[in-house]
Amino acid sequence: MPIRVLSEQLASQIAAGEVVERPASVVKELVENALDAGATTINVDVRAGGRKLIQVADDGEGISAADVQTAFKRHATSKLQSIEDLNHIQTLGFRGEALAAISAVSQTTVVTRAAGEPAGTRLTLAGGELHTQETVGAPQGTVIAVENLFYNVPARLKFLKSITSERRLIDEFVTRYALAYPQVRFRLTHDGRIAFQSSGHNDLRDVLAAVYGPDTARDLLPLSSSPALVEEGMAEGTETAAAPLPPVASSSLPASGSLPASGRPHLVTVSGFAGPPGLHRSNRSQITLFVNGRWIKDSSLTYAVVQAYHTLLPVGRYPVAVIFISLPFDLVDVNVHPAKTEVRFRQAGAVFSAVQRAVRETIIAGAPVRGFTQMRPEGVFSWGGSVDRPSFARQPGMPAGHLHGQMNLEFPRSAPTTPFMPRAADDEHPPTATGNGDLGGERLPIMRVVGQVGTAYIVTEGPDGLFLIDQHAAHERILYEQFMDAWNQQQVPSQGLVAGAALYVTPAQASLLEEHLATLQRLGFAVELFGPNSFMVRAVPAILTHQDPARAVLAVVEEMEEDDGRAPLQTQIEARLIRRVCKTAAVKAGQPLAPAEMQAMIQQLEQCRNPHTCPHGRPTLIHISLSQLARGFERT
């Protein structure tokens, strides 16, 4: 084929793929334009997850009638005048691509009036082509409505996620910028219902309460804003610094080692909020970073925040933090990617060190003494009351596999329950599916409990040696098989709460939780909408009777966040949630058990169809044979 120059329309649609990836990208570009225009109120209205409509209205400076058409041309911007301006960009937008890209893949209407003009202008475009322009009455500011996104690019439309997933991405973006600009009043609605709004009173605590809920906002610790000195001429070799900090580090010291004498000194200021060690999540999504008012994605700085909690968080848990980094504009390059969420620092190591020091200093000096409800491993919640209550042990007449106070299954299992005996040599029956995704495994021999090691492992004696049993993994397996039997029979026992427990979540989590209310009901939860981003827990599965109901539901929501976007089968979603529920309810490492408790757990593990692993695949027990012991003692 001969080489041809692409048409302007085709080139615009190709370029739009870099800027407008999904509805959240449209919201991002339009909100950033509104902030650059000095808006004090921004209203975002979304329909069908952004597929049908995205409308952003602001009270900013507006666009003059003479510039409206030009604004929708490629590479048209009012924020750059010369190449030197790229060295110190002070606005969120600057590339001149957003409006052209958005109009190229949608039907766009803009109504705007600039300050000082007697009337406004209404412009309509479709597929990047101008349709109409007329003079209309309008207040100062700009309203841009983007309808039928990707209507002329069906391939892109097919690859969008579910409406709920797209809503969550929009929620996350709007709440981030509400945190960065507390002086601006944000209002976000989905299909006519308010999902989020901030007061615009320039009080970050108010915005934190609106995003995370009042309890979390109350726990967050303000970071010290003492500036750190960095030098323009320092080397880049420090950007991977990750050594644990000493217990207390002054954030007013130089941000990274000794500084050379040459170069201009600059100040890097780190401010914001960080959660105490008792407040943590299952992933890094709650670590939010801003540089000069711009939300960014930076794995190195995220690691700096995590590293500041070194030895203070359980394994696999991550902090909640909102970090604002301020530094001279010429020390950061934001012209890295069309999405403008990736930046490069001239002294990356200095910024890394400044963030790490500020967070570490704050949580060491300001974290309150952790209460009883916070001192629980892995962010999950052990039994209330005494650990060694006699009712844990199997009672006369109680079927094997029953833990009183854990899960009350008074109906038959999916397979008859009989005491497990060692498999005979002539037993050639192949394993069969058990209905819960597991294949029947080798049954355990009958074991005698010897004791407990490290308050984490049960020591037992079997016919051919010694067994070490992980009490948490074993109890997870027991509860999982009980729960799966109940779920397969649609008879999951549920325990109603005398007084409902209030749960506050982020707007993105609220959308996800609302979508899966029916799923939670099938698992024994009763959760109802209580207000914007708040829910009331009315009942929980019986095995969670002694847990904090709100925290248990939050743990399930975190599991749903991990699944979101993978589009698994509904049965797979429910099975994953059951695993999380069982993980929450199972006894933990570090929890002492009485001999009767250990014997009851071993008897129930012997009853399991697949006793060798927990639901997540970790081994439940290790076998040390008599011959291994003999070799160890040099008896052979």
Q: What is the pLDDT of residue 187?
A: 95
| CB count in 10 Å sphere of residue 171 | 27
108 versus 11: the higher-pLDDT residue is 108
Element (H, E) at 625: strand 621-625
* CB 413 within 8 Å of CB 489: no
Confidence category of residue 512, pLDDT binned at 50, 70, 90: confident
Measure the CA–CA gap between 309 and 317, rounded to whole angstroms.
10
Give CA angle at 200 (198, 204), nearest 5°.
75
Confidence category of residue 302, pLDDT binned at 50, 70, 90: very high
Mean pLDDT (the chain, rounded): 78
202 conformational bin, left if phi > 0, alpha if psi -120 to 50, beta if neither: left
Residue with tokens 């060690």, as numbered in its chain: 277
Q: What is the pLDDT of residue 255?
A: 38
14 versus 152: the higher-pLDDT residue is 152
Helix (H, G, I), strand (E, B) or coil at 185: strand
- DSSP summary character for residue 531: E
Measure the CA–CA gap between 14 and 90, rounded to whole angstroms.
28
Q: Give the up-direction half-sphere exposure of residue 362: CA atoms within 13 A in the CB hemisphere.
A: 27
Rounded to 5 degrees, what are φ and ψ at 220? -65, 140
pLDDT (average), residues 171-198: 93
| CB count in 10 Å sphere of residue 431 | 12
Segments in 268-347 forming alpha helices (H): 299-308
Sign of CA dihedral 416, 417, 423, 424: negative
Structure tokens at 202: 């320039």
pLDDT tens per residue, range 91-117: 887 777 888 889 888 999 999 999 889
Residue with tokens 């302007």, as numbered in its chain: 8
Question: What's the length of the chain?
Answer: 636
Buried b (16+ CB within 10 A) or exposed e, 250-284: ebeebbbeebeeeeeebebbbbbbbbbbbbbbbee
* CB 618 within 8 Å of CB 406: no
- CA dihedral 349→354→357→363, nearest 10 degrees, is -130
What pairing do the DSSP bridges indicate for beta strands 41-47 and 185-190? parallel
Helices (runs of H) and strands (runs of E) counted in the chain:
17, 25
| CB count in 10 Å sphere of residue 365 | 11
Measure the CA–CA gap between 566 and 527, rounded to whole angstroms.
24
- DSSP summary character for residue 292: T
* CB 617 within 8 Å of CB 626: no
- CA dihedral 392→545→402→415, nearest 10 degrees, is -170
Residue 370 clears pLDDT 70, i.e. is over it: no
Q: Give the up-direction half-sphere exposure of residue 424: CA atoms within 13 A in the CB hemisphere.
A: 4
Type of residue found at 135 = T
pLDDT (average), residues 437-466: 78
pLDDT (average), residues 132-137: 92
Segments in 444-569 forming alpha helices (H): 471-488, 507-515, 517-522, 549-563
Percent above pLDDT 70 for the chain? 78
pLDDT (average), residues 475-482: 88
pLDDT (average), residues 230-251: 40
Confidence category of residue 16, pLDDT binned at 50, 70, 90: low
Residue of 400, 560, 537 whose CA lies nearest to 482: 400
Measure the CA–CA gap between 193 and 89, rounded to whole angstroms.
36
Relative orientation angle of helices 163-180 and 204-212, to the nearest 10 degrees:
160
Helix (H, G, I), strand (E, B) or coil at 584: helix
What pairing do the DSSP bridges indicate for beta strands 457-462 and 465-470? antiparallel
When mean pLDDT is compared over 296-310, 489-503, 608-622, the highest value belongs to 296-310
* CB 146 within 8 Å of CB 100: no
Measure the CA–CA gap between 618 and 572, rounded to whole angstroms.
19
pLDDT (average), residues 304-318: 87
Measure the CA–CA gap between 483 and 488, rounded to whole angstroms.
9
Measure the CA–CA gap between 55 and 147, rounded to whole angstroms.
8
- DSSP summary character for residue 576: H
Q: What is the pLDDT of residue 423?
A: 33
Domains and CATH numbers, the chain: 8-201 (3.30.565.10), 220-371 (3.30.230.10), 390-487+588-631 (3.30.1540.20), 493-585 (3.30.1370.100)
- CA dihedral 404→619→561→318, nearest 10 degrees, is 100
Measure the CA–CA gap between 543 and 476, rounded to whole angstroms.
11
What pairing do the DSSP bridges indicate for beta strands 526-531 and 494-504? unpaired
pTM: 0.70
In angstroms, how far is CA 548 from the centroid of its own chain?
20
Residue 507 clears pLDDT 60, i.e. is over it: yes
73 conformational bin, left if phi > 0, alpha if psi -120 to 50, beta if neither: beta
When mean pLDDT is compared over 195-209, 331-345, 543-557, the highest value belongs to 195-209
Confidence category of residue 580, pLDDT binned at 50, 70, 90: confident
Confidence category of residue 155, pLDDT binned at 50, 70, 90: confident
pLDDT tens per residue, range 393-424: 334 443 343 343 343 333 333 333 333 333 33
Residue of 42, 182, 188 whose CA lies nearest to 511: 188
Confidence category of residue 62, pLDDT binned at 50, 70, 90: very high
Confidence category of residue 314, pLDDT binned at 50, 70, 90: confident
419 versus 318: the higher-pLDDT residue is 318
Beta strands in 302-432 (DSSP E): 318-319, 321-326, 332-333, 344-345
228 versus 338: the higher-pLDDT residue is 338
